[in-house]
Every structure is written in structure tokens, then in C-alpha cells.
Structure 1
Amino acid sequence: MLASQDPLWQHQLGLLLESTGEGIFGVDLDGHCMFINRAGAAMLGYEPAEVLGHNMHWLTHHSHADGSHYADTDCPIFNAFRQGLGCRIDSEVFWRRDHQAFAVEYSSYPILDGAEVRGAVITFVDITERKRTADALQRAKAELEERVAERTATLSATLAQMRELSAYLDRVREDERTRIAREVHDELGSLLVALKMDVNWMDKRLSEQQSRDAVAAQDMRNRMRSKCQNMSGLIETAVDNVGRIITDLRPSILDHQGLWAALEWQAQEFVRAAELALDWQMLVDDDLALPDAAAMAVFRIFQEMLSNVGRHAQASRIAIYIQATPQQLEVRVQDNGVGAAPQAFEAPTAYGVQGMRERARHFGGSLEITSQIGLGSTFHLRMQLSNLLSDE
């Protein structure tokens, strides 16, 4: 079963070599085959006796996978006995008798006689199927990564479009609010004021006639005066409500006095209505003005921060810190309320938080929320202003 030029090799290695399915052969210091098992010879397309005595590099390892020459001085197998270096290689090919290459994994280690190197022993296996499977997996992985990249790009583009649409809808909504506020002020507000003046005039005339006319008509006039006074009170309430609606739609202070005054006004109005103590600190340059769209976004985010405190915090005190430089804006709202678990602000139904984050993100900003049950919450808006101010 084992072909060898040395009976000693055959006696010592025969049974061991023939019991394995791996190819095993030994070479002397000239690279000539001293022994080879039947499995190894069959993988190379030979009978064992046909291989003995042949230079194994030139017989089966003479070329690279692409057919280019493979010098034996570069061969790791020969280095095993020339330099006493062992190796394990799985990136090369062996060549069969029919000049067909096959992927191989081999190891080569020197054969020592005491301290003297006598040759090398080489074990090898055909890994064609393993390589084919690995290549198929790699192709599948590459295709999957390409598909994931395409889907990711598509989703990113869709998300960008949705954000642009959201920003556009915000602009449209603010423009519509501005238009409605202006029309309510110009049309309905003016009508109510004129109506109130007419009612007051009627009340005054009735009062003047009361002293001249007969007593018989006095009771009717008194009732008419009472009705006019009631109407005047209702009209005054309507005027107040119209003013409140106009302010909710588009705070006039934002247009007339700017963002910083509007933020302070909103904070004072909120703590007055909610009966909260306020720690207020604003460090801004009064000459620093944001573009209208960015200013409105900051104001709406600030409103939603306060609204969140009013709805959920059950706080007794609120601390507001605002700092603005030509480079960055910071708005921080901190309450001493009941707090909440962090995941509460990430819930799909946390629309207010989502809206604040989308507004901030559209202008290159970010919103951080820290909260702990029993220790209150902090909303922290950061927005880079350098790009926004340079675009004006």
C-alpha cells in the first residue's frame, strides 16, 4: 500500500499513512519524494510508485493558481527543510496529473534526525468544495450587503424627504397661522371694537334720556341699559379671547421684539398660569437675531418644553437657562417634578418629543432629555448658529 525507496520508512509509516484520508508525503533535502500514501497519490492522479523519486515541487506545486511560475525558492514546503520553518497554508493550489489545479490546504514541517534536518513531511487535503462554499457565502454576503446598502440609501432618502416635508408643513402651518392671526386682528378684532363702541354709545344716550322722559318709559330704558352693559361685557370678553387666540397662533411679541423677549414673555406667562417658582437666566446678545424660521422653531420647541412640564411634571419650581452666541444656542428647562423613565420619551406616542426633535434636527440642532423618577426632568436644546447666520 505504501511505495518507498527505503524499507525503514515503509515499516514505520505504512499503516499510519494508509489509515488516513489526507494526503501525506515526505521529501528529502533535494525535494524528491521519499514516500507518499495512496490517498495523496490519488488526489494528484498518480499511483504511489509513479511519484517516488520525483521532485514534488515540479510535479505538483510548480505554478500559482493563475498559471504563473512558482519558484521553488519561494515554496513554503521547501523552506521547511531549507530554513527549518514549519507552515500551514490554505491559499494555494496543487496540480494534478491532468494539469488541473485544485485548492489545497497543506502543512509542511521539517524531519529531524537529532539536530540535523533530513527532509520534510507534508500533509494536504483538497478544499475545493470548502472554497466553493466560502466563495458562495462571500458572494451572498456581498449581495446582501449591497441590498442592505441600497435599502438603507432608499430609507435615508425617504427619511430626508419626510423631514423636508415636515419642515415644509411647519412653514406652511406657521404662514397660515400668521395669515389667520392677521385677519382675525384686522377683521374680527376691529369689528368687535366698533361694536363695543356702539353699545357704549347706546348706553350713554339712554342714560341721558332717562332724566327727561316720562317715568312710564324709564323701566324699559333701564332694562335696555342693563342689556347694553351685558353686551359690552360679552364683547370685552370676546376681544380678550380674540387676543389670546391671535397670541397662540402667532405671538406678536416675536415679530415686534424678537425671539429673546418672546421666550422671556412665554416663560413668565407660563409660571404665572401654572403657579410655579421660576429660576431664570438668559445670557444673550440683544443684537443677535436668528432667521425667522429658526426663531419660530426655537420658540415652538420652548413652548412644548413648558407644555410638557405643565402636563406631566407636577412640579413646584422650574429653572430655565438660555445662552446664545454667534456660534451656538442652548436652551435648558429643568423641573423638580415627578420625573419619568427614560423610555417614556422614546415611546412611539410621544409626539410632542418627536416634534421637538424633528424641529431641532431640521436646523442642525439636537434635543437631549434626562429624567429620573422622583427627581424631575431636564430638556436641553442645542443648535449650531454659525451656519444659520451665515446663510442670511
Structure 2
Amino acid sequence: MFADLKHLSHHAAWRRQLELLLESAGDGIYGIDLRGRCIFINGAGAAMLGYAPDEIVGRNMHYLIHHSHPDQRLMPVHDCRIFQAFREGRGVRVEDEVLWRRDGSAFAAEYASHPIRDGEEVVGAVVTFSDISARKHIERELQATQILLERRVEERTTELRSAHESLRRLSAHLSTAREEERAHIARDVHDELGASFTALQLDLNWLRKQLAGQAGLASHVDRMLEVTQAAMGATRRILNDLRPGVLDHLGLWAALETLLQDLQARSGLDCRYVCPPQTERCRLGRSAEIDVYRIVQELLTNVQRHAQASAVSVEVSLRDKDLLLTVEDDGVGARLPAQPQGFGILGMRERAYSIGGELTIDSAPGAGTRARLLLRGVA
């Protein structure tokens, strides 16, 4: 198994111990001289290569087991990393090459080559190697499985994204259909009930004049007039909720101002509206203005119902080409979850998304609530 080991030891006992050590190793171990010839190899290494130990000793190890790349292209000896150990006097560890067996087959190998020194002089190298074909096969299987999983995840993500976009388009369609239905109902109510209430009020006023000398009947007619006027006021409020006429005739900014004025009159809240003249000249388009109006309407409704606030403000400003609308109150605030589950906030965010905007709501207990609607590139 050994060639000339006189430079390693002159004692037979030490030589025997070294033989036992090499033979007990599970990995392949061999040594080479400065010409690349094998000076010793253990049985495990020889068996891994398909040789008997005596068939390897004395042969050039590069041309015997390391002559070609994995794709069978010849590897010049000057590219042999095994020989670098004695050529450069430093250790080398390699995991991306193959070694070749006696029968011409190759196996993925992990090997390390370290110089053998006699004092300061490098006299050869010792190489340890092992067959990692099974490990490489598992790595390839894992990589293939990973690629397959990533592909399936990507496909599933695409499906979910498509479904999500479909749901958003459906939500936007339903919102548009709902607004159209509201407008249709508002027109019908205005045309039918408005005309009827107006005619009824005229008739009651005429009847009131006819009963000028009959105090009891006149008082009864006055009560009927009050009920009629209250019904007309309620109808106007319902019509305004269904479809504010000022939004169609004067635009979004006038509609928001009217919305705040009505809120202040009904609730007693101190309402403040800030909209600079240059912002008033910004038009968003009919559909977008309806969505912005509904978002602000929903925010103000929440303030009135839940915030226990004394003041609320709506401020609109332009920043470069972006429009920022802020609704802020001084109420009790709340701790908002990271992912809101209520349909109110989700609905507002979907409305904002449908017009290319982003709605963020900040709140904390005792600190009020601030909602920001950002529309990019509208100016």
C-alpha cells in the first residue's frame, strides 16, 4: 500500500500505527509527491476509485482520477486544484468537481488537499476525498422541489391576485351601480314627492285663508302645515343623502362645505373647512368626486356617532401633483387593529383604491382620529 515512506518514519512500529490509522478512515486518503505520483493510498480510497491500492501507488493521480471536468472536457494539469497544495504551499478544499473511477464513470467528490512539509520545504501533498453523490442527489431533489414549490406558490399567488382584482372590480361596479340607483331614486322622490308636497302645501295655505274666521279649524290646518313642512325637510335630507344635488351642480368642494354645514347644524359640532382657491380649481372627474364625497361622508358619520368629539375639521391641500384630504377630530380616539375587520373602514379603503388613492387612519385612545386620503397625480 505504501511506496517510499522513509521520509515519514524510520520506525516499523510508527509505520504500522500509521497504516492502521489510514485503514480505519472511512474517507479516501492518499499522498502525492511533487510530480503528482501517488506515494500511498488507503483501502477505502482505492475501493472508492475501483482499484487495488498497489495498482494506484506510483501513478500520477491527476491523469488517473482527475483528468476531466464533470462535462468530460479535459482538465489541464495546471488547472488541477489538488496539486495547488504543493505548488502554492497552501491547503485547498473543493466541493464542485468530480473524480473518475477505473470503469470510466465519475462521482461527485468533496476533497481537501494540504501540503506535506519537511521543515520549510514542501515535499508533496496529502489528499482526503469522499463520494458525495448521494448528498448531491438530495440537493438536486431539494432544489427541484424548491423550484416546484416556488412555481406553485407563484401560480397560486397569481390566481389569488386575479381573484382579488376581480373582487375589487366587482366592488367598484357594485359601488357605481349603487350610486346610479341612488341617483335614480333621488330623482324619482324629488319628482314625485316633491311635487306632491308642494301641491299639498299650496292647498293647505289656501285652506288656511278660507278658514280665517274659524280659529279651531285654522289651528288644525296650521298643525297640518307644520307636519307637511317637516316632511318636506326630511325628504330634502333623504334626497341629499341619496344624491346631494350640490355635488352634481357645484362640484365636490362645495358639496363638502355643505356637508360640514349640515353636520354642524344638526350635531352642534364645531366644523372647520379649509380648501384653498387653487385646490378648488382641481377637478377629479364625476366618479372620483362621488367616491371622495362618500368617503368623507362616512368619516364624518363615524365622528358624529362614535368620537364624542367637540370639533372636526376637513382640510384639502395640493402637494406638487398630489391631493391630500385630511379629516381630523378631537374625540376619544381608539386603538385600531393592523388589519381592520369592520366593513366601514374596508369599504372606504376600497373606494380609495378604486380611484387610485390611499386612505390611512391614525388613532389612539384619548388622542382623537386623523384620516388622510392621498390621490396621486391628479393636479
Counterparts in 2 of 1:317 and 1:230: CA distance versus 1, 3 Å: closer
When the two chains are superposed, the root-mean-square deviation of aligned CA atoms in Å is 1.9
Counterpart in the other structure of 1:247: 240
Give the match for residue 14 of structure 1: 19
C-alpha deviations, 1:292-351, integer Å up to 9, x for none? 0111111111111212222222122223321136721111122222221131x6332x21
In structure 1, the gaps of 5 or more residues are 211-220
**Displacement of 1:135 after TM fit?**
0.7
What is the CA-CA distance between 1:272 and the residue it aligns to? 3.3
Would you say the 8 A contact 1:284–1:323 is kept in 2?
no
- Evaluate the alpha carbon distance shift between residue 15 and residue 288 of structure 1 in structure 2; reply closer, same or farther with a 3 A threshold: same
**Which of 67, 77, 86 in structure 2 is aligned with 1:81?**
86
Q: Which residue of the partner structure matches residue 376 of structure 1?
A: 368
Deviation at 1:82, TM superposition (A): 1.1
Match of 2:3 in 1: 4
Matches within 5 A, 1:25-174: 25-174=30-179
Distance 1:227 1:277, change over 3 A: closer
Q: Any unmatched runs of 5+ in structure 2?
A: 9-14
Change (3 A) 1:151 1:98: same
Letter in 2 for 1:281: V
Q: Mean alpha-carbon deviation: is it higher for 265-274 or for 122-131?
A: 265-274
Amino acid of the structure 2 residue aligned with 1:21: G
Counterpart for residue 257 of structure 1: 250
Q: TM-score, normalised by structure 1?
A: 0.90
Are the counterparts in 1 of residues 340 and 346 from structure 2 also a CA contact under 8 Å?
no
- Kindly provide the CA deviation profile for residues 182-221 of structure 1, in whole angstroms up to 9, marking residues without a partner as x: 11111111111112212222232343xx5xxxxxxxxxx6
Task: Single out whichever of 107-116 and 311-320 deviates more from structure 2.
Answer: 311-320
Looking at structure 1, the residues matched to 320 and 221 of structure 2 have their Cα atoms a distance apart, in angstroms, of 56
CA contact (8 A) 1:288 1:326 kept: no
Q: CA deviation at 1:3?
A: 3.3
SS of the residue corresponding to residue 102 of structure 1 reads strand
- Give the SS at the match of 2:374: strand
How high is the TM-score relative to the length of structure 2? 0.93
Distance in 1 of aligned mates of 2:314 and 2:289: 18
Counterpart AA for 2:95: D
The 1:94/1:175 distance shift into structure 2, 3 A limit, reads same
Change (3 A) 1:326 1:168: farther
| TM superposition shift of 1:36 | 0.6
Does residue 303 (structure 1) correspond to residue 293 (structure 2)? The answer is no
